[in-house]
Chains A and B, each alone.
Chain A
Amino acid sequence: MDFSSTKKGPFVSLVTGLPGGGKTFLGILLVAALLVPLSNLLVPESSFFHVPTYMVSLLGKYLSFALLALSVDLIWGYCGILSLGHGAFFALGGYAMGMYLMRQIGDRGVYGNPDLPDFMVFLNWTELPWYWTGFDMFPVAMTMVILVPGILAFIFGWFAFRARVTGVYLSIITQAMTYALMLAFFRNDMGFGGNNGLTDFKEILGFDLQSDGTRLGLFVCSVIALAFGYLISSFITQSKLGRVLIAIRDAESRTRFSGYRVEYYKLFVFVVSAVLAGIAGALYVPQVGIINPSEFSPAQSIEVVIWVAVGGRGTLWGAVLGAMLVNWGKSYFTGALPEAWLYMLGGLFVFTTLFLPKGIVGTSAIWIEKIKNRQTGPASTIPAYVKEE
């Protein structure tokens, strides 16, 4: 007999995600990574199949949101930690990237000061604050994209999880965390551009941010980052550790009494998730061209949660799908029917929680199972794996 297949948990993936969904998803990503640039570069502009450059950046933005959704799904869908402050990690990653881009402006700013960003000149600052040191170097900035959200998540999680703050209490304090950060970043004294944030970027690694080539490059980077994030998340959730996370989600004290240090597991996955969110933020900023404190607002973070809920929490590609769908809807409707968008978004929250608790992916998986049952009898009562002696 062979039980090695249980390591991949075929039954788990059948219930919470479509079988092979992951591979299909990676395939789609790969195709997108090839097709979008090709169509942008080779297909003539008049053609229906031409993807204009603004659309490339828009798609790139959605991909960074998808990575953010993935990071939220990892902790919420699998470990039951509902963070209402994940936007904070996203924004911190974004600010780290923004600081690098700011330093790349050099003397091309309005005030032409080669050492100080415009907003500091405007505030009559004479030298760069110490925490801006090194951000003119790409590797340093990228390290910070990972370290800053990671360390904040570690410190926050270290306190919160050890104190066994769970459920809604945890959600509320994550919300308070991002709210406090938002207030802090709004302050001019913080040295991050206050209200206006960081913007007017010129180039990244010497490439002009406005050029089509750079935008395609950033798009491809976003695809790679999402695929990378997906693979990491997938590896974690498919491992025994992933099953421990689900165990924590479903029966935390049983997990504890089984000998697992729940707080360390939560801390681990929280930090991984925060880092993914930070990377997503770093990809978002150059494609959108601005980062400001509103990214820290609690409303933003809650919106991320609804992407995941719509797609289907506890399934990785469900989160990605949800992020894509909701943001596409947002782009479309805020243009076409700006008045109606908030009604729709609000309605989406209510509808999803009431009628689609497992999201699109989870609910369709249940339907598919039901259809299969009609053919083969109830799967839930017949073992998928028939024991052989």
Chain B
Amino acid sequence: MTSRPASEKTPEFASILYLDGVSVSFDGFKALNSLSLVIEPGEMRAIIGPNGAGKTTMMDVITGKTRPDEGEVFFKGNIDLTKHDEAYIANLGIGRKFQKPTVFESQTVFNNLELSLKGDKGIMTTLFAALGDADVARIMEVLEIIRLSERANWLAGNLSHGQKQWLEIGMLLMQDPDLLLVDEPVAGMTDAETEQTSDLLRKISENHSVVVVEHDMEFIRALDTKVTVLHEGSVLAEGSLDVVQNNQRVIDVYLGR
């Protein structure tokens, strides 16, 4: 039923994601205030900002969960994301990891990945779906990447917090999206796990565009990438972590209040 839009990797777009003047308000509270942001194809971008800066709302807007009151959101140059819903946008090639790790807890790790497999997500296809060898191979490959090969038949609910984070990232990889939106991937992780996660994300960013939202400055530093600071729903500063950290306005926002 769902026609999957073509999402071949064609890097000639000027931008993979383009937000211009996006505003969202809830009962008078402006969650996003004329936010503009451009992500280049193949780029990894870290987004930081205090609580309530609008990070999650921004992701909601990009993935079709929240409609902006005004502003433009384009994917790959000309696909207007404000016109589509979550499932359609997911099939366009945008994957999203939630702030709180969200996996299918009563199903096995293997099945979690299987459900996220790229392909036709229509009802009849799903009803009569059978796993091909290529699919199994792909799942094994991702299991390897997210270091859960040994846990393939565990129920996802029995994984540790960090493993659930990885499983969710793995599910994103199964979708093979062009753009990954990753919300707080290292929250609740040990230092070792955090390090492994930054390795994982760097590896992923080699052939995907990635947007990472995180509070952990060490982690951001390890990612070694361009940083955007959000504050009260709009961009406060942009640049390398060092530049941003020395920006007086950023210091005021984080410390001054």
Residue B65, interface by CB 8 Å = yes
B104 and A3 contact, CB distance less than 8 A = no
Binds B, one of A35-43, A220-228, A252-260, A315-323: A252-260
Q: How far is the CB of A343 from chain B (nearest CB, A)?
A: 34
Residue from the list B96, B136, B152 in contact with A257, Cβ < 8 A:
B96
Q: How far is the CB of B139 from chain A (nearest CB, A)?
A: 8
Question: In the bound complex, how far is the Cα of B171 from the Cα of A178, in angstroms?
Answer: 40
Q: How far is the CB of B95 from chain A (nearest CB, A)?
A: 7
Question: In the bound complex, how far is the Cα of B11 from the Cα of A85, in angstroms?
Answer: 52
B155 and A15 contact, CB distance less than 8 A = yes
Residues of B near A341 (CB, < 8 A) are none
Binds B, one of A47-55, A237-245, A329-337: A237-245
Instruction: Report A204-253 residues with CB < 8 Å from chain B CB.
Output: 236, 239-241, 243-244, 246-247, 250-251, 253
Residues of B near A381 (CB, < 8 A) are 154, 158
Residues of A near B141 (CB, < 8 A) are none
A240 and B115 contact, CB distance less than 8 A = yes
Given A9-B111, A236-B127, answer yes or no on A256-B87 (Cβ-Cβ < 8 Å): yes
A6 and B121 contact, CB distance less than 8 A = no
Q: How far is the CB of A365 from chain B (nearest CB, A)?
A: 13
B110 and A6 contact, CB distance less than 8 A = yes
Residues of A near B102 (CB, < 8 A) are 251, 253-254
Question: In the bound complex, how far is the Cα of B86 from the Cα of A43, in angstroms?
Answer: 63
Residues of A near B107 (CB, < 8 A) are 9, 12, 243, 246-247, 250
B123 and A265 contact, CB distance less than 8 A = yes
Residues of B near A380 (CB, < 8 A) are 154-155, 158
Residue from the list B110, B129, B151 in contact with A3, Cβ < 8 A:
B110
Residue B105, interface by CB 8 Å = yes
Residue A261, interface by CB 8 Å = yes
Most A C-beta atoms less than 10 A away, residue of B65, B104, B114: B104
Q: How far is the CB of B122 from chain A (nearest CB, A)?
A: 8
B126 and A240 contact, CB distance less than 8 A = yes
What per-residue 1/0 map shows which CB atoms of B122-150 lie under 8 Å from chain A?
A: 01001111110000100100000000011
A258 and B171 contact, CB distance less than 8 A = yes
Residue A170, interface by CB 8 Å = no
Residues of B near A258 (CB, < 8 A) are 90, 115-116, 121, 171, 175
Residue B153, interface by CB 8 Å = yes
Instruction: Report B231-248 residues with CB < 8 Å from chain A CB.
Output: none
Residue from the list A246, A250, A261 in contact with B87, Cβ < 8 A:
A261
Residue B63, interface by CB 8 Å = yes
Most A C-beta atoms less than 10 A away, residue of B98, B155, B171: B155
What per-residue 1/0 map shows which CB atoms of A1-41 lie under 8 Å from chain B?
A: 00110110101100110000000000000000000000000
What per-residue 1/0 map shows which CB atoms of A246-290 lie under 8 Å from chain B?
A: 110011011111111110110010000000000000000000000
Most B C-beta atoms less than 10 A away, residue of A16, A241, A246, A259: A259
Residue B91, interface by CB 8 Å = yes
Question: In the bound complex, how far is the Cα of B86 from the Cα of A384, in angstroms?
Answer: 34
Residues of B near A254 (CB, < 8 A) are 98, 102-104
Given A15-B155, A257-B63, A257-B96, answer yes or no on A239-B106 (Cβ-Cβ < 8 Å): no
Residues of A near B90 (CB, < 8 A) are 256-259
Given A250-B105, A253-B65, A381-B158, answer yes or no on A243-B111 (Cβ-Cβ < 8 Å): yes
A6 and B114 contact, CB distance less than 8 A = yes
Q: How far is the CB of A380 from chain B (nearest CB, A)?
A: 5
A residues lining the B interface (CB < 8 Å) = 3-4, 6-7, 9, 11-12, 15-16, 236, 239-241, 243-244, 246-247, 250-251, 253-262, 264-265, 268, 380-381, 383-385, 387
* A–B complex contacts, Cβ < 8 Å, 16 sampled: A11-B108, A11-B153, A11-B155, A241-B126, A241-B127, A244-B115, A244-B126, A250-B107, A251-B102, A254-B104, A257-B86, A258-B90, A258-B115, A258-B121, A260-B87, A380-B154
Q: Which 6 A-B pairs have the closest CB atoms?
A: A259-B90, A383-B153, A385-B153, A240-B129, A256-B86, A241-B127
Known: A239-B126, A383-B153. 13 other contacts (CB 8 A): A3-B110, A6-B108, A11-B108, A239-B129, A243-B104, A246-B107, A250-B105, A253-B86, A253-B98, A256-B85, A256-B90, A258-B121, A264-B123
